[in-house]
Amino acid sequence: MDWKIIATNEAISNYFVFGAGLLVGLLGHLAKTLVPRPAIIQFEKQREISLIKLSHDAQERLKVTYQDEPINDFQLTVFELRNKSRRTIEDIKLKLYLDEVGGQQKLYEILIEDPMEDLRVPEPTVTCVTEESGEHFLTISVPYLNNARDHKDILTVKIYSPRPIKVLKLVGGGNGWMTKFFDRVAFNSKLDGIVRESNSTMEFVLNTGIATLLRRWR
């Protein structure tokens, strides 16, 4: 064996990089193992559906009302609130800020579907708040939320409005837990766009497979 080759500056540099990579990987593994990761409360936008939408011509001939108020469009936006950790999280209070570039969003009605409505006390609430600064957000209060995987404890929030609900940000957190907002509607739309823009059959098949895996993973 030629020890001179092994001891060259380039070889030593490669050994150093390799050793540093192993050290970083080991430290990362130890950090994940020893440092507890915060639990995640995820608020996910699941669907947005236009329940009724009148064309410009139809608006002049048809009159549609909701609670005695004339409407031209009636949107349903569905959200889900779930605890992605393995433990029960208590005293959950969130603020959901709405993206209202075109003006403050009007909300017709907010409904909560609770799979544990006979057991959960007090019951979850969603309230609209408009501060003096003009900020508009929803406050979401839940006394506790069991982990979704084992207990299927998932709250569904349905919002009826004149136009789709766009979210600016989600704020909230507590002892050992944090919040995360995920827009599945936008995520699926982006993946569908990637598949449609495929330039060949092979690329189409590959992108379709990746999109399917990502949807399941999310």
Q: Please tell me whether residues 175 and 137 are part of one structural domain.
A: yes
**Residue 211 within any structural domain of the chain:** no
Q: Please tell me whether residues 147 and 174 are part of one structural domain.
A: yes
- The predicted model scores a pTM of 0.72
**Residue 200 within any structural domain of the chain:** no
Q: Please tell me whether residues 69 and 13 are part of one structural domain.
A: no
pLDDT digits (tens, 9 = 90+) for 23-44: 666 666 555 555 567 889 999 9
Closest CA relative to residue 45, chosen from 170, 136, 192: 170
**Residue 195 within any structural domain of the chain:** no
Long-range contacts of 51-57 (CB under 8 A, 24+ apart): 51/75, 51/76
Average pLDDT over residues 89-106: 83
Rounded to the nearest 10 degrees, what angle do helices 184-196 and 201-217 cross at? 170
What is the number of structural domains in the chain? 2
Q: Please tell me whether residues 94 and 29 are part of one structural domain.
A: no
Q: Please tell me whether residues 156 and 170 are part of one structural domain.
A: yes
Mean pLDDT lowest among 52-56, 80-84, 108-112, 156-160: 52-56
Q: Please tell me whether residues 78 and 177 are part of one structural domain.
A: yes
Task: Provide the residue range defining the domain that includes 26.
Answer: 3-34
**pLDDT value at 155 more than 70:** yes
**154: CATH:** 2.60.40.290
Chain centroid to Cα 53, Å, comes to 26
Q: Please tell me whether residues 82 and 159 are part of one structural domain.
A: yes
Average pLDDT over residues 48-70: 77
Q: Please tell me whether residues 12 and 96 are part of one structural domain.
A: no
**Residue 190 within any structural domain of the chain:** no
pLDDT confidence tier of residue 163, bands split at 50, 70 and 90: confident
Q: Please tell me whether residues 56 and 143 are part of one structural domain.
A: yes
Encode 94-112: b = buried (16+ Cβ within 10 Å), e = exposed. bebebeeeeeebebeebeb
